[in-house]
């Protein structure tokens, strides 16, 4: 999906000056991530979240893979990026000094963000015009992880959607540039395929917004004046996945 976002921007004819990929791979990085996760959430909650993910993947992995292949032509996206010859910077943190230096050399006006990692203030300040993010959920009601899952868990099908917004110091709390709903296709969709569809819709809207900014247009924003206290969601546990199966029948 990250490559799809990059390819969408390139296919729209935008002047993409560079791509910065943040990845933390290998056993050491995974163990450090798990250590921090347990420190923040506790061992019991972490174990429940791991079991929930295993359960969900066991039920949906095969069908989800089929839908993903239909939604996204990854080979074509790779070819689009390769043909463009855009510089690619690899890092394990956007805030690393060498990564910040690389971003300065790219001299960007706008950042389009598609990442699970934090993009801090020092990074955002390098974009002269805007830092535009996308989220597969309707903010401010559904922020954080697994937004389609939680909307369905709460029986709010009209809140399965996406948001394009300006990044700020919060998590999915920035001024809104645009939102939309994702229709559910019975028998096809899972909460994960709905998230993918939201990401795809976000990238198309991001491309249109950047094109407008490029043309010198003003793009209106809608500030989030009040963030609901119960609007930030974490990874579901096994118990929550099991209840989800009982309370909703819209998706796989």
User: What would the mean pLDDT of 6-11 be, rounded to a whole number?
Assistant: 98
Task: Report percent pLDDT > 70 for the chain.
Answer: 100
Q: Classify the phi-psi angles of 155: left when phi > 0, otherwise alpha if psi is within -120 to 50, otherwise beta.
A: left
Q: Residue 169 falls within a domain, yes or no?
A: yes
**CA-to-CA separations, 44 to 38, 39, 54, 146, 163, in angstroms, rounded:** 9, 11, 16, 20, 32
Q: Is 144 exposed, middle or buried (0-12, 13-18, 19+ CB in 10 A)?
A: middle
**At residue 187, does pLDDT exceed 90?**
no
Q: Residue 44 falls within a domain, yes or no?
A: yes
Distance of CA 205 to the CA centre of its chain: 14
Structural domain of residue 189, as residue ranges? 2-247
pLDDT digits (tens, 9 = 90+) for 32-85: 999 999 999 999 999 999 999 999 999 999 999 999 999 999 999 999 999 999
For residue 132, what is the domain's CATH number?
3.40.50.12230
pTM of structure: 0.94
**At residue 249, does pLDDT exceed 90?**
no
pLDDT score, position 25: 87
Q: Residue 252 falls within a domain, yes or no?
A: no
**At residue 145, does pLDDT exceed 90?**
yes
User: What would the mean pLDDT of 85-102 be, rounded to a whole number?
Assistant: 95
Q: Rounded CA gap, 7 and 177, in Å? A: 21
| DSSP symbol at 157 | G
C-beta of residue 121 within 8 angstroms of C-beta of residue 30: no
pLDDT score, position 252: 85
pLDDT digits (tens, 9 = 90+) for 119-133: 999 999 999 999 999
Q: Rounded CA gap, 207 and 211, in Å? A: 6
Q: Residue 12 falls within a domain, yes or no?
A: yes
Of 3-7, 27-31, 68-72, give the lowest mean pLDDT range. Answer: 27-31
Q: Residue 86 falls within a domain, yes or no?
A: yes
Number of structural domains found in the chain? 1
pLDDT score, position 177: 98
Arithmetic mean of pLDDT over the chain: 96
């Amino acid at each position: 999906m990250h490559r799809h976002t990059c390819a969408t921007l390139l296919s729209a004819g935008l002047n993409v000056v560079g791509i910065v990929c943040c990845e933390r791979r290998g056993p050491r990085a995974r163990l450090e991530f798990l250590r921090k996760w347990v420190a923040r959430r506790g061992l019991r909650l972490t174990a429940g979240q791991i079991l929930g993910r295993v359960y969900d993947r066991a039920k949906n992995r095969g069908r989800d893979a089929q839908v993903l292949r239909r939604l996204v032509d990854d080979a074509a996206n790779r070819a689009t990026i390769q043909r463009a010859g855009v510089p690619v910077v690899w890092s394990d943190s956007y805030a690393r000094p060498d990564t910040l230096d690389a971003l300065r050399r790219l001299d960007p006006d706008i950042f389009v963000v598609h990442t699970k990692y934090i993009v801090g203030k020092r990074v955002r300040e390098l974009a002269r015009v805007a830092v535009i993010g996308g989220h597969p959920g309707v903010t401010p009601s559904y922020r954080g992880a697994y937004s389609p899952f939680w909307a369905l868990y709460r029986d709010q099908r009209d809140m399965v959607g996406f948001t394009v917004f300006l990044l700020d110091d919060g998590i999915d709390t920035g001024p809104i540039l645009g939102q939309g709903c994702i229709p559910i296709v019975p028998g096809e969709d899972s909460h994960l395929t709905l998230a993918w569809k939201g990401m795809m819709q976000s990238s198309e809207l991001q491309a249109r917004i950047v094109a407008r900014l490029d043309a010198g247009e003003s793009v209106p924003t809608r500030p989030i004046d009040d963030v609901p206290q119960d609007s930030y969601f974490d990874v579901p546990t096994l118990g929550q996945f099991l209840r989800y199966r009982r309370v909703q029948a819209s998706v796989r």
